[in-house]
Amino acid sequence: MPSSHPSAGAEAAGPTIIRVVTALPDLEALLQSITLKTTGGACVFAGLVRGETHRDQPHETTRLEYEAYVPMAEAKLAQVAEEIRQRWPDIEGLALVHRVGVMEVGEPIVYVACTSAHRDRGLFDAAKYGIDRLKEIVPIWKKEVGPSGETWVEGDYHPQAGE
């Protein structure tokens, strides 16, 4: 199931790691794999299972169960990576790794990690774009399990044809 797609295009480009997995890789090892000799900074977004939500509709969460349409999810993760490289050509390494299966409170769900030579090369924006875009177009869904039962969560973004 895991696969990685070598990237093409931008001159700064290092490895692009795209995976839908049942167990996330060790974060330090993941960072090592997207670090070049020219790399001076990394930005990692990690999504975690939140046990108590206070914003919007406050509720408690016991666990989350994630399901993916794996081949399309990996294709769309690769698309997100390509969009990041077009917008921020100074990004060196890039990793978008999402876990599926049952996850307990506090556990990591997804890593979006980017590296670049310096921190002012779009590093933070690239990581933010990565997770925002993943939540729009990558076909993965979560079922939320809490004290009052379980519900599938639906996003609110409707991709255009070909997006």
Partner 1 sequence: MKLKVLLFAHLKEKAGTREAEVEVPAGASAGAVKARLGELYPGLRPMLDRVLMAVNQEYVSDDTLVSEGAEIALFPPVSGG
Residue number with CB closer to partner 1 (34 or 134): 134
Question: Cβ neighbours of residue 127 under 8 Å, at least 6 residues apart?
Answer: 43, 44, 45, 112, 113, 114
Distance CA 103, CA 24 (A): 11
Site for partner 1 in 72-101 (CB under 8 A): 72-73, 75-76, 98
d(CA 129, CA 78): 14
Binding to partner 1, residues 99-118 (CB under 8 A): 109-110
131 contacts partner 1 (rule: CB under 8 A): yes
State yes or no: residue 68 binds partner 1 (CB under 8 A).
yes
Complex with partner 1: residue 31 or 112, whichever CB lies closer:
112
Window of 11-19, 51-59, 61-69, 87-95 that interacts with partner 1 by CB under 8 A: 61-69
CB of 17 to partner 1, least distance (A): 17
Beta-strand runs (E) in the chain: 3-4, 16-21, 41-48, 52-53, 59-60, 63-68, 91-99, 101-104, 108-116, 140-146, 149-152
Which stretches of the chain bind partner 1, using CB under 8 A? 47, 66-69, 71-73, 75-76, 98, 109-110, 131, 134-143, 152-163
